[in-house]
Structure 1
Amino acid sequence: MKTYICIFFLCLLSCKEEKITNKSRFNLKNSDEIYKKISKIPDNQLTKIEIPEFIDLDTINGDNKTVNITIRNKGNRNLTSLTIKPPCSCNEVSKYDSVMLPNTSQTFSVNMKFDKIGNFYQGITVYGSFYPYIKKIYVEGYRKK
C-alpha cells in the first residue's frame, strides 16, 4: 500500500505546474479559477471560434516539437479573455493576443516536450468568451528517438 501511495505522489509531482501563462494572471494549476472567471461572461457576449480538434504529428525524432495552431474568431462579437493552457508547465506557449476582433485569426506556437519514447496524446486547453467556454486541442503522435 505504501508503494502505491509513493507512486501516486511521484506522478503528481512529475509535472509541476507553477508557470504563469503569457499575458495571463492565472497560475496553470488553477484551471478551475480560469473557468469560473470565463463562465461569468453572459451568453449574449459569446462568440464562435474555429480551432483544430486533433493535430497528428505522426512520427517525431527528439524530445520536443513546435506546434503552430491557428484560432479564428468566426462570430460577430469580440473574443475576450483568451487563455491557452498547455498540458504541462514544461511546454511553452508563445505570446498571443487575449482579445480578438470578429472574423480575425491568430497563430500561436506551443513548444511540446515529450519525455518518453513511444505514443503520446496530450491536450492543449483553450479558454475564452466563446461557447462552451473551453475547447481542447489534442496532439498525438509517436516519438521514435
Structure 2
Amino acid sequence: MKKYSCILFILFLSCKEEKKVKNNGFNLKNSDEIYRKVSKIPDNQLTKIDVPEFIDLDTIEGDSKKIDITIKNKGQRSLTSLIVKPPCSCNEVSKYDSIMLPNQSQTISVNMKFEKLGNFYQGISIYGSFYPYIKKVYIEGYRRK
C-alpha cells in the first residue's frame, strides 16, 4: 500500500499544473482564463499565424524529446499576447517573444516528457491575437524504451 501511495504522490507532483506562464500571471491549469483574455482583443487587431498542425516523431527512445515549433506571423498586424501552453507543466518551454511583427518568425522549443511506453498523441496550445485566438499543434509518435 505504501508503495502505491508513493507512486501516486510522485505522479501527482510530476504533472502538477501550477506553473505560471512567464510573468503573465496565467495559471497553466486554467486554459479558459487564457482564452477569455485573448478573445477580448477586437477583430480589427487580429493577425494570422502559420504553425504546423501535426508533428510526427515516429519512434523515439527515452522519456523526453525536444521539439521545435516554428510560428510565423503571416498577417499585416503585430501579434501580441503570444502564449504557448504544453499539455503538462512537466514539459519545459524555451523563452520566446510574446510579440511578433508582421512576417516575423520564431522557433519555440518544447522539451516533451513521455512517461508511458507505446503510442502517444499530445496537443500544445498556442494562444494570442490571431484568428481564431487558439491553435493546437499535435505531437504524435511511439515510445519504444
TM-score by length of 2: 0.89
Opposite residue 58 of structure 2, the aligned amino acid is D
Opposite residue 38 of structure 2, the aligned amino acid is I
Distance in 1 separating the partners of 2:24 and 2:95: 10
Distance in 2 separating the partners of 1:143 and 1:21: 28
User: Structure 2 stretches of 5 or more lacking a match?
Assistant: 1-8
Aligned residues: 136
Distance in 2 separating the partners of 1:96 and 1:24: 13
Secondary structure of the 1:32 match is helix
Secondary structure of the 2:27 match is coil
Opposite residue 49 of structure 2, the aligned amino acid is I
Pick which of 21-30 and 73-82 moved more: 21-30
Contact 1:19 1:89 in 2 (8 A): yes
Opposite residue 35 of structure 1, the aligned amino acid is Y
Q: 1:87 to 1:25 in 2, by over 3 A?
A: same
Matched, 1:37 2:37: yes
Secondary structure of the 1:44 match is helix
The CA deviation at 1:30 is 1.5
Deviation digits for residues 88-135 of structure 1 (CA, Å, limit 9, x no counterpart): 011010000000000000001000000000000000000000000000
Aligned residue number for residue 81 of structure 1: 81
Contact 1:87 1:122 in 2 (8 A): yes
Opposite residue 140 of structure 1, the aligned amino acid is E
The CA deviation at 1:21 is 1.9
Secondary structure of the 2:36 match is helix
Aligned residue number for residue 125 of structure 1: 125
User: Structure 1 stretches of 5 or more lacking a match?
Assistant: 1-9
Secondary structure of the 2:20 match is coil
RMSD of equivalent CA atoms: 1.7
The CA deviation at 1:20 is 1.2
Identical positions, percent:
76
Aligned residue number for residue 7 of structure 1: none
